[in-house]
Structure 1
């Protein structure tokens, strides 16, 4: 997601010396393609220099064994094949042929990419897999099933009217007007046809029958399944006050929601954001990018304190204030009378656009109806299988045993959902793979990215290295002397190292 630029570094077709490498890395080009050379032991490997997700510079990432991790959003790639091994990247990079000529390392051509055709086209099986949900977890599962050469039928049921999209963009670049809509789909429409994924949009599921192994759709049709993945996600918490049902009051979850806010913003002069959540403040930043006056009302003393702590909360508030956002904290909206928002404090805010961001709740009704074990989410084991054999759950609804924190946790983040979808897919194929990835999320506020690894619902100490106001810091959240989570601003490599350390400290 960057502007066109000239190729980087030396021309690799003319060769480079190992002495030209820095820390075992060198970025050069072959024609117009940027290529990253990496020295791994006696070998030198070459892959595309930028992440296939948001174009993060892999030369600034972390090499772990035969893989490299993107510094921006922690995608992981094979250095040998370029395969995308870990979300949020879903597309492989090109791997390049490395030649030795005298004392020079030369790169001229790409390695032959693996065949992209889906195996089911030539080797169908009677197995029938159903995925309920068209979000991050559901798509990642369907995609992984085909990558793992599953040749049976895949039916993916989504209540949304849009194909699976890059949801984080809905509150960030797309909403801000910095990304076109054609960047949103995770895959084009032809992908589902080519790979034999029966994607059913605008389709509801009325019930699941675990005994009969079938799904009943809203129109009464029944779909049999051999394996089922529940990935129903979460829905925005609705504002329960007078006037909340007016047409200028919006929530943000889907493409349709984001489009509606963009349409309303075209003629809006003042916007009210109710809630200082990540979504709420990303919406505030995006609306400020559209030159709209923005007011944020929230009951807490400082935004994001519960997740990031006092110091980071103060920084986030100051950052938004510097960019023109008006905060009304320790306050709530009691009613919306037309365009007038009446605050509990007695104040009134006139706004022609209102966006409600007061949290989300997992969609559990289908799981409850099916008799699955529920514990503030759908209870799953280490393989993401529910209490009913053959039925798996992933994403926002899943509560799983986290080996790092030692607790059963549920996390509402994009990368977690994608990683769980992939693991669930492999386990639907009988792999018995434990889901043990360290949770990760990122949030973007103007030009400031906040990266967070781990999971800390509470802590007794925060260790701060660097300067939070200076936008150069790493925070460790500890309980009983143990690091549960790490947040950072522009300390990408350290954040990756913290993730790796958590992985290696798993029980």
Structure 2
């Protein structure tokens, strides 16, 4: 216990601090009863909450206070300063809150307050549905089920997933978990008791055959039928498969599920040479993870630079140099022609030794069920601002949803974990009749060794890239502009600037 206390920073807030030490709009980290506490002052109000984000432990003192909320600098979670409630993904758990008292121009932090159950909001459209079905066990599906119960929804929730594992923290599968730096008990979004405790009927390893829109039923592949009053489609995306000779060999992998990551880890433990096909975010995160495990890694991709389509040439050159500094060998402007038990033959005629091959060549949205049901689709499932499909009472969220983005003025589909979580939560509110438009600015992060890249907005194209700072020095903000308007911003170790860019996009002042 003494060791824990020795790591605490700042003053003991139970003993009080001078009011003058906390400026209006300021933040200060101290501790109370052995726990780190963040103090935030807004005018006459002073809030005391946990000092670290409930997602990955980001330091909230380095974040951004917006009205009566605080945003995490690492992955843009957002919390209510008064109640501690997690308002935005990727955080799902609330912050602890403490009572605060002012006496004689001093601030004292008192007892930790009991967690308050969120109050159920009154529906704008009458009675709540008796049963909500969720098809998909990923980010959007889980976030919807969790939010329904957080909103005190009392009806049935049935969650159908063709995965064998309960919902997991998918970004970790290609990052710390694959690198061997995160234990497996970090990976589930919630333990198995969560579903029973919250009355969520989670059905794993079950495929949906079709949806009968008129009858309000889901037909399962095992022949069963499930009636619903409201339905969320959150089927996600699936990895694109190689079609070259040898693509079906046992040492050739894609990465989407926990089972995929486990298989790669098992083979990597006995492997020395890895070939990664594709220089996408997933591909390069896998490359970094396997290098961390000590494997020799070669990356093969058809483009001139890694990730140039999303991040542009300057960032692409930096990412290549970063990986080369860590021992990755690139074969750009080339493709795999065939795979044997021990080698990958490239189109250029070169051969690469390969004990393990991981293909990260993209994903495609799983829209077959929606198309068969007659829902409107266009390179995804078309939804309105409330995430409702062309069929009343049926919603879509996550990788399959193409929605009217209020920031770009275009219909977009985004394959980001945080977007899927936030859409799932918004869809949950709308299935309960709250008529909440989805207006969140897209956000994702990518990790390469010890270098994080944060990205807010959405730029399918640009006519100008502006760089502030020094990309090579790992201290930069990059703006992607079209027609003079900022479409997206990428940052490296400029966390507050990333949060400020997100806020500007939200307010239309970017």
TM-score (norm 2): 0.96
1:444/1:418 CA distance change after superposition, 3 Å: same
Match of 1:410 in 2: 413
8 Å contact 1:404–1:506 — kept in the other structure?
no
Q: CA deviation at 1:190?
A: 0.8
The match for 2:65 is: 63
Q: Could you tell me how far apart the structure 2 residues matched to 1:128 and 1:218 are?
A: 20
Provide the C-alpha distance between the structure 1 equivalents of 2:286 and 2:40, rounded to a whole number of angstroms.
39
| Counterpart Cα distance in 2 of 1:255 and 1:161 | 9
Q: How does 1:99-118 map to 2 (within 5 A)?
A: 99-115=101-117
Counterpart position of 2:319: 316
Pairs within 5 Å for 1:85-484: 85-115=87-117, 127-484=130-487
Deviations 1:241-294 (A, max 9, x none): 000000000100000000000000100001000000000000000001101110
Secondary structure of 2:414 counterpart: coil
Contact 2:298 2:328 in 1 (8 A): yes
Aligned residues of 1:234 and 1:396 also touching (Cα < 8 A): yes
RMSD: 1.7
SS at the partner of 2:61?
Answer: helix
Tell me by how many angstroms 1:103 deviates. 2.3
8 Å CA contact 2:128–2:432 kept in 1: the answer is no
**2:42 corresponding residue in structure 1:** 40
CA distance in 2 between counterparts of 1:59 and 1:151 reads: 37
Contact kept in structure 2, 1:118 and 1:146, CA below 8 Å: no
Contact map agreement 2:119 2:152 (CA 8 A) in 1? no
- Taking the aligned partners of 2:294 and 2:431, their CA distance within structure 1 comes to 48
Q: CA deviation at 1:108?
A: 2.6
Tell me the equivalent position of 2:124: none
Q: Deviations over 1:310-331 (max 9, x none)?
A: 0000000000000000100000
Report the alpha carbon displacement of residue 43 of structure 1 after superposing the two structures with TM.
1.3
Q: Distance in 2 between matches of 1:112 and 1:357?
A: 46
Please report how far the alpha carbon of residue 20 of structure 1 lies from its aligned counterpart in structure 2 after TM superposition: 2.3
Q: CA contact under 8 A between 1:118 and 1:196: conserved in structure 2?
A: no
The alpha-carbon deviation at position 116 of structure 1 amounts to 8.7
What residue ranges of structure 1 are gaps of 5+ in the alignment? none
Q: Deviations over 1:83-141 (max 9, x none)?
A: 0000000000001100123222111311111149999xxxx987010000000000000
Secondary structure, counterpart of 2:188 in structure 1: coil
Choose 165-174 or 23-32, whichever is displaced more.
Answer: 23-32
The normalised TM-score by structure 1 is 0.97
Runs of at least 5 residues in structure 2 that lack an aligned partner in the other structure: 122-126
SS at match of 2:327: coil
Deviation at 1:506, TM superposition (A): 8.3
Question: Once the 2 structures are TM-superposed, how far is the Cα of residue 31 of structure 1 from its aligned partner?
Answer: 2.3
- Cα distance in structure 2, aligned partners of 1:117 and 1:404: 31
Measure, in 2, the Cα distance between the counterparts of 1:386 and 1:434.
Answer: 13
- How many angstroms does 1:378 deviate by? 0.2
Question: Contact (CA 8 Å) 1:140, 1:419: kept in 2 or not?
Answer: yes
Q: Does 1:54 align with 2:56?
A: yes
- Partners of 2:340 and 2:175 lie apart in 1 by 29
2:81 aligned to 79, 82, 89, which one? 79
Post-superposition Cα deviations, 1:431-457, rounded to whole Å, max 9, x if no partner, equal 111111000000000110000000000
Partner of 2:21: 20
Equivalent-residue separation in structure 2 for 1:147 and 1:228 (angstroms):
18
SS at match of 1:12: coil
- Is contact 1:252-1:357 (8 Å) kept? yes
Separation in 1 of the partners of 2:55 and 2:504? 24
Distance 1:197 1:59 in 2: 35
Distance 1:478 1:454 in 2: 11
Check 1:209–1:502 CA distance in 2 against 1; reply closer, same or farther (3 A cut): same
